[in-house]
Structure 1
């Protein structure tokens, strides 16, 4: 199976990462420390640091990565986790990765402070990489997160936004971090600027695909698989790819969303309409396009070791496989 194999390529590196994360985000205050412990004990796939490590191995043409690559992988996971803490507060999500969210376990105030603390810690470690180009590239991501959340907050239940605006929002919320961390890893390997930018585009496209697939799973998956309530994005008025495509076929869906799910049964009915439409298929096709573009980009990097880049192809295929 692709999933177990692709992560086995970076298993030792991820083991080191898991050991380092808790010590990296240790806080003096016991409540902040407990919140950090809770977050990283919940685990997760560690997909973003795995991608950073795969980029590092491919661009170095070595199974041994630099300590700066390892630290960048850790920084990437801390930034991602910080964004999840704030997302959960905004969306009032009760569970994440199958465990209680920080604001549910402690309080909203503690969750906001924990997220801020993690962003601050990531910035400190990022500065200590002593590479201004990497700092500039990664620090932009935190700005993108904020812009993505603000944009999303302004368009809840808005039926007038386009699929292009959805893609742009998805870039800010998800693809920006993956793209920037891929480029950062390439910069640390000291390859040429063209190859750095190609690594960025690889990350951008698989990041967009990841978000589209996440949005599909919000409609078709189970709470146990997602680790968060099913249909949460839809309930909060976050219109996503499968919803946009389904809306072109159903006036009834438009009416239900316009009414902001005023009846208790509206969410369930909306999900059934989306499932019976071509919305899911068209969203899958869109995700596949981005995955294939990412694979084509990484395959075009002829100077990257052919055996090593194969892990990046497998990672792209793994992301797509989540919906099959």
Structure 2
């Protein structure tokens, strides 16, 4: 975990350490290859941002983190990890978190099965929370993942899509899980529709901002910081907000996209054109608006040490661009 997030997560440090241990013991595949694939994923670690947000949201409801909240955090991370396995297969990504992806370490069939297995595991643990409302809320996320992948796959190299379509896809693929998990953290403690909806919208806006920032970093980041090649989304034809904004100023991008960056230097030229346009700044401005919307929702959830930590995490997410 990064030093900056370590400081932000200091109040739930012990819970996150337990979560890391539990994730490796929760995966109980009978077949050794499937088990090895799942273990490979969790050994790669990660910032554990989603479970941290859930644990803090749980703490905000009653100033304590109960066992079912801890299990919800673990379920969320398993679902997130399963989605990454399938994403890496679809995007043909060679590395994830600095390690070889599952389909590169094993093969594509094993990776798909590993992702399916993790989704199934998460569903089992979810059912055992014994809360029908939470089961329905989280189960919808898996449907959203599929919807998001279909939308993305149907629009590769399509420069005629609108930013709104991009935002819908971003909700399905990223924000839906964070939103549903935040809401569920409330539902496990307090059956209050208003508060749980504020929690849901906090996760929704935070997730949209997070995805947009990730998409900006895909253009302006480095392979070392990203853990994957720069411009991978663009190369694969996944046209994100900064690219869609840049198209208005840089029509040359259209011809590069139409030929799917097939000529030598096409991708590098496209990245240059995007960077010199206002596309990056427009995307930053939109991400900042979502960050502000998320903070507005947090203010509706009262004032506590956990809420303060969530505000700090929300600000931190935007500072990744600095």
> Which TM-score bucket, shorter chain as reference?
over 0.9
Structure 1 residue 257 displacement after superposition: 1.1
Separation in structure 2 between the aligned mates of residue 19 and residue 158 of structure 1, nearest angstrom = 43
Secondary structure at the aligned position of 1:161 is classed as: coil
Partner of 1:75: 75
Structure 2: segments with no counterpart, 5+ residues: none
Indicate if the aligned counterparts of 2:202 and 2:297 stay in contact, CA closer than 8 A: yes
Structure 1 length normalisation: TM-score?
Answer: 0.97
Structure 1 residue 5 displacement after superposition: 2.2
Change (3 A) 1:153 1:159: same
Partner of 1:43: 45
Indicate if the aligned counterparts of 1:68 and 1:188 stay in contact, CA closer than 8 A: yes
Separation in structure 2 between the aligned mates of residue 2 and residue 282 of structure 1, nearest angstrom = 26
Which stretch of structure 1 is more off in the superposition, 124-133 or 311-320?
311-320
Q: Which residue among 304, 307, 313 is the counterpart of 1:306? A: 304
Partner of 2:18: 16
Give CA deviations for 1:104-141 in whole Å, capped at 9, x if unaligned: 00000000000000000000000000000000000000
Give CA deviations for 1:1-30 in whole Å, capped at 9, x if unaligned: 863321222211110100100110121110
Indicate if the aligned counterparts of 1:51 and 1:182 stay in contact, CA closer than 8 A: yes
Separation in structure 2 between the aligned mates of residue 2 and residue 82 of structure 1, nearest angstrom = 26
Secondary structure at the aligned position of 2:312 is classed as: helix
Indicate if the aligned counterparts of 1:59 and 1:191 stay in contact, CA closer than 8 A: no
Structure 1: segments with no counterpart, 5+ residues: none
- The size of the alignment, in residue pairs, is 320
Which stretch of structure 1 is more off in the superposition, 293-302 or 204-213?
293-302
Deviation beyond 3 Å, 4+ runs, structure 1: 1-4
Separation in structure 1 between the aligned mates of residue 52 and residue 15 of structure 2, nearest angstrom = 8
Partner of 1:123: 123
Partner of 2:7: 5
Separation in structure 1 between the aligned mates of residue 44 and residue 288 of structure 2, nearest angstrom = 30
Structure 1 residue 191 displacement after superposition: 4.4
Separation in structure 1 between the aligned mates of residue 220 and residue 190 of structure 2, nearest angstrom = 42
Structure 1 residue 321 displacement after superposition: 1.1
The root-mean-square deviation of aligned C-alpha atoms, in Å, is 1.0
Structure 2 length normalisation: TM-score?
Answer: 0.97
Separation in structure 2 between the aligned mates of residue 2 and residue 222 of structure 1, nearest angstrom = 19
Indicate if the aligned counterparts of 2:5 and 2:47 stay in contact, CA closer than 8 A: no
Partner of 1:260: 260
Indicate if the aligned counterparts of 1:103 and 1:111 stay in contact, CA closer than 8 A: yes
Secondary structure at the aligned position of 1:115 is classed as: helix
Separation in structure 1 between the aligned mates of residue 161 and residue 87 of structure 2, nearest angstrom = 21
Separation in structure 2 between the aligned mates of residue 59 and residue 270 of structure 1, nearest angstrom = 47
